[in-house]
A and B are shown apart, each in its own frame.
Chain A
Amino acid sequence: MAVIQYREALRQAMVEEMERDDRVFLMGEEVAEYNGAYKVSQGMLDQFGPRRIIDTPISENGFCGIGIGAAMVGLRPIVEFMTFSFSYVAFDQLVNNAANMRYMSGGQFSVPIVFRGNSGVGGSLGATHSHRPEAFYAHVPGLTVLMPSTPADAKGMLKAAIRSDDPIIFIEHENLLGDKGEVSDDRDFLVPIGKASIVRPGRDVTLITYSRMLKITLAAAEKLAEEGIDAEVIDLRSIRPLDIDTLVTSVSKTHRAVIIEEDWPYCGIGAGISDRIMQKAFDELDAPIRRVTAKDVPVPYSRVLEAAMLPDVGKVVAQVHDVLYR
């Protein structure tokens, strides 16, 4: 165990898996000589050389397709988006090719690839650079969508992603990159795909969240504890596949749920989860499921407007009060 940053945890995962398997390589804009726009790949060019740490032109659609093609014949690429906002330039490759290849070929070709990079409302980056792409990608059967919220999960989940034989959309958060936490140095430390984590056990209400919103949710849980409300906080980690069993078990205990996400509300992750819980455990619910989301507007530059748009502790507490009829 060592205390390291989220970005270092990501790097450790990539380094360890590259040491283990020559088929794994990293490709993306500024990943090599610049050492990564966000310094995730710092030092990796020195260690692995230009055969395996590869700078690309600003050609997302092209290099994602190249990654998928290479994966079809046995390589295991890690493709970095400088931020996931730029993955939209490559949407066709991810959604048409990566997701469908195995199905369309009747199981003949699989695509063991990881698309990774940060995302989210990073702070006055404006509408084009603040995307939260999880709902778009989670919509697609064939894609696996993972979103770690802690350094430990960043490492264990990325290692599992790299070892997976399927295309993985691995979405980090720009504002978590510098966070520190204890991380295992076991070279086979893997966080299984599709497994949520109960970060804080509680009796009265289930708070379901992921990525950066875990912090806001935990802060809200502290606040609620002061009022005598014992909240259970679940970090989804895996957006698709969803760990519905953990959610149903929790809701069967608390009978109330609030879903907290940084993304837009309509057709969002919370909408999908809420539906799954209603299908599986409607009779367990003592109140309608509530959601705290970003406002249904493009992301503004102004810091005042941006703050107003995002979930915060107060908004979470208010929805918990609502499901508890307080």
Chain B
Amino acid sequence: MAQTTTEAKPAVTRNQSVGWLRQMLLIRRFEEQSAKLYQQQKILGFCHLYSGQEAVAVGSIGVLREDDYVFTAYRDHGHAIARGMDPKAGMAEMLGKVSGCSKGKGGSMHFFDAEKGFMGGHAIVGSHIPLAAGVAFAIKYKGGDQACLCYFGDGAMDQGALHEAFNIASLWKLPVIYIVENNMMSMGTQLHRHSWTTDLTLRGGPAYGMPGILVDGNDIEEMARVTRDALRRARAGEGPSFIEAKTYRFRGHSMSDPMKYRSKEEAEKAKEGDPIVLFESLLKERGWIDEPTLEEMHEKIKAEVEEAIQFAEHAPEPPLESLYQDITVAPFIPQE
């Protein structure tokens, strides 16, 4: 896995590439620091880290327009940051603060950012997959040419909601792009133990009349290329696409997972496919970035994440009256 793109023609400009590397590094650092805050019990509940999968979100969201939409599951920090969410808002959310991206009501699994077209982290497996088709329906209804990107894990391939939505999306030629992040694991269950075939491209694409596109999710430029193709289809009214991005999560399923189901060797070997390391060396090879610039970038990101943590720590707790706020648009009348 994880051979980087052939050198023939780089899919992106130098500026864009450097920006993507920066985003991936930011996500990685954000996640590492989140793990520490979780251990200090400042972040609570369920917290799922994205480390190892960054190229999937950054490479695909990186080719969207500002007016497109993004949905994902509960492993959502990376997608939110790739879509431009301020890390301060994300960190404050995880610390349950009122300055968080969901005012402290959603937590790690429920990041939202309407301004950026970030339609949420969603914590019930498969539940958001029809929602993405719904946004695509609205785009078509209004006569727009935006598209909606929707991410989920290989485990979500087993939910009925996915299959119902896929059929309808294809039937109605909706501008939605489904991306399964196949990290080979549904919590502690390896792919071959939860799916009749390990070929998810087959299960998700042709069966529903969508192109099924297999891509190395650790190769950010390939990720960008296949997403661009799918976007072209969507914008031209040709209907949905299904992308299977093969990748690997470096950490446990959530913070409480001891990962007994995989060997140290397997996890170590996967690190060879670290999308960040791969992209750094590619950019160096091309002469698009040098060691001092890279070091400076790392330092800046460290500072940015530290600033986000400081911001979150000092942000106020939500006021008690906010319990009853944002429940309905009409004044909420508690039945108590």
Binding site for B on A (CB under 8 A): 29-30, 33-34, 37, 55-59, 61-62, 85-86, 88-89, 123-129, 265-266, 293, 295-298, 300-305, 308-309
Q: How far is the CA of A125 from the CA of B159 in the complex (A)?
A: 21
Instruction: Please give, as numbers and ranges, the residues of chain A lying within 8 Å of B107 by CB-CB distance.
Output: 124-126, 301-302
Question: Residue of B at shortest CB range from A61?
Answer: B160
| Interface flag for B228 (CB, 8 Å) | no
Known: A301-B104, A302-B104, A302-B105. A55 touches B334 (CB 8 A): no
Residues B16-67 near A (CB distance < 8 A): 44-46
| Interface flag for B124 (CB, 8 Å) | yes
Structural contact, A30 and B187, CB atoms closer than 8 A: yes
Partner of B324, one of A37, A123, A128, A297: A297
Q: How far is the CA of A303 from the CA of B96 in the complex (A)?
A: 7
Q: How far is the CA of A124 from the CA of B93 in the complex (A)?
A: 12
Listed A/B pairs (24) with beta-carbon separation below 8 Å = A30-B187, A30-B189, A33-B193, A57-B155, A89-B124, A89-B126, A123-B44, A123-B45, A126-B105, A126-B110, A126-B123, A127-B106, A128-B122, A129-B123, A297-B323, A297-B324, A298-B105, A300-B323, A302-B317, A303-B96, A304-B96, A304-B317, A305-B96, A305-B320
Question: Residue of A at shortest CB range from B189?
Answer: A55
Q: How far is the CA of A129 from the CA of B125 in the complex (A)?
A: 11
Binding site for A on B (CB under 8 A): 44-46, 93, 96-97, 102, 104-107, 109-110, 122-127, 155-156, 158-161, 186-189, 193-195, 260-261, 317-318, 320, 322-324, 327, 334-336
Question: Shortest distance in angstroms between B314's beta carbon and chain A's nearest beta carbon?
Answer: 16
Q: How far is the CA of A123 from the CA of B317 in the complex (A)?
A: 16
Structural contact, B322 and A305, CB atoms closer than 8 A: yes
Instruction: Please give, as numbers and ranges, the residues of chain B lying within 8 Å of A33 by CB-CB distance.
Output: 188-189, 193, 261
Known: A29-B187, A33-B189, A301-B107. A295 touches B195 (CB 8 A): no
Question: Shortest distance in angstroms between A204's beta carbon and chain B's nearest beta carbon?
Answer: 25
Instruction: Please give, as numbers and ranges, the residues of chain A lying within 8 Å of B106 by CB-CB distance.
Output: 126-127, 301
Q: How far is the CA of A124 from the CA of B159 in the complex (A)?
A: 25
Counting from the closest, the 7 A-B pairs by CB-CB distance are A301-B107, A57-B158, A266-B335, A124-B44, A124-B45, A34-B188, A302-B96
Partner of B336, one of A55, A57, A265, A300: A265
Structural contact, B323 and A58, CB atoms closer than 8 A: no
Q: How far is the CA of A295 from the CA of B325 in the complex (A)?
A: 13
Instruction: Please give, as numbers and ranges, the residues of chain B lying within 8 Å of A308 by CB-CB distance.
Output: 320, 323
Question: Shortest distance in angstroms between B128's beta carbon and chain A's nearest beta carbon?
Answer: 11
Question: Shortest distance in angstroms between A85's beta carbon and chain B's nearest beta carbon?
Answer: 8
Q: How far is the CA of A57 from the CA of B163 in the complex (A)?
A: 14
Q: How far is the CA of A124 from the CA of B160 in the complex (A)?
A: 28
Question: Residue of A at shortest CB range from B102?
Answer: A301
Q: How far is the CA of A295 from the CA of B155 in the complex (A)?
A: 34
Question: Shortest distance in angstroms between B203's beta carbon and chain A's nearest beta carbon?
Answer: 12
Question: Residue of B at shortest CB range from A90?
Answer: B160
Instruction: Please give, as numbers and ranges, the residues of chain B lying within 8 Å of A61 by CB-CB distance.
Output: 160
Partner of B334, one of A59, A128, A295: A295
Structural contact, A305 and B104, CB atoms closer than 8 A: yes
Instruction: Please give, as numbers and ranges, the residues of chain A lying within 8 Å of B334 by CB-CB distance.
Output: 295-297
Q: How far is the CA of A33 from the CA of B192 in the complex (A)?
A: 14
Q: How far is the CA of A309 from the CA of B123 in the complex (A)?
A: 21
Structural contact, A58 and B125, CB atoms closer than 8 A: yes
Instruction: Please give, as numbers and ranges, the residues of chain B lying within 8 Å of A89 by CB-CB distance.
Output: 124, 126-127, 159-161
Question: Residue of B at shortest CB range from A85?
Answer: B124
Question: Shortest distance in angstroms between A30's beta carbon and chain B's nearest beta carbon?
Answer: 5
Structural contact, B186 and A57, CB atoms closer than 8 A: yes
Structural contact, B45 and A58, CB atoms closer than 8 A: no
Question: Shortest distance in angstroms between B119's beta carbon and chain A's nearest beta carbon?
Answer: 15
Q: How far is the CA of A155 from the CA of B201 in the complex (A)?
A: 45
Instruction: Please give, as numbers and ranges, the residues of chain A lying within 8 Å of B188 by CB-CB distance.
Output: 30, 33-34
Question: Shortest distance in angstroms between A34's beta carbon and chain B's nearest beta carbon?
Answer: 4
Question: Residue of A at shortest CB range from B125?
Answer: A58
Q: How far is the CA of A59 from the CA of B161 in the complex (A)?
A: 10
Question: Shortest distance in angstroms between A81's beta carbon and chain B's nearest beta carbon?
Answer: 12
Question: Residue of A at shortest CB range from B325?
Answer: A297
Known: A125-B46, A301-B107. A58 touches B318 (CB 8 A): no
Q: How far is the CA of A29 from the CA of B327 in the complex (A)?
A: 32
Instruction: Please give, as numbers and ranges, the residues of chain A lying within 8 Å of B323 by CB-CB distance.
Output: 295, 297, 300, 305, 308-309
Question: Residue of A at shortest CB range from B256?
Answer: A37
Structural contact, B336 and A295, CB atoms closer than 8 A: yes
Structural contact, A301 and B123, CB atoms closer than 8 A: no
Q: How far is the CA of A307 from the CA of B295 in the complex (A)?
A: 44
A34-B260, A57-B194, A128-B122 known; 16 other A-B pairs, CB under 8 Å? A33-B188, A33-B261, A34-B187, A57-B186, A57-B189, A58-B186, A89-B127, A124-B44, A126-B110, A127-B105, A129-B46, A301-B102, A301-B106, A301-B110, A304-B96, A305-B320
Structural contact, B318 and A293, CB atoms closer than 8 A: no
Question: Shortest distance in angstroms between B326's beta carbon and chain A's nearest beta carbon?
Answer: 9
Question: Shortest distance in angstroms between B63's beta carbon and chain A's nearest beta carbon?
Answer: 30
Q: How far is the CA of A221 from the CA of B73 in the complex (A)?
A: 43
Partner of A300, one of B104, B155, B156, B158: B104
Instruction: Please give, as numbers and ranges, the residues of chain A lying within 8 Å of B327 by CB-CB distance.
Output: 297-298
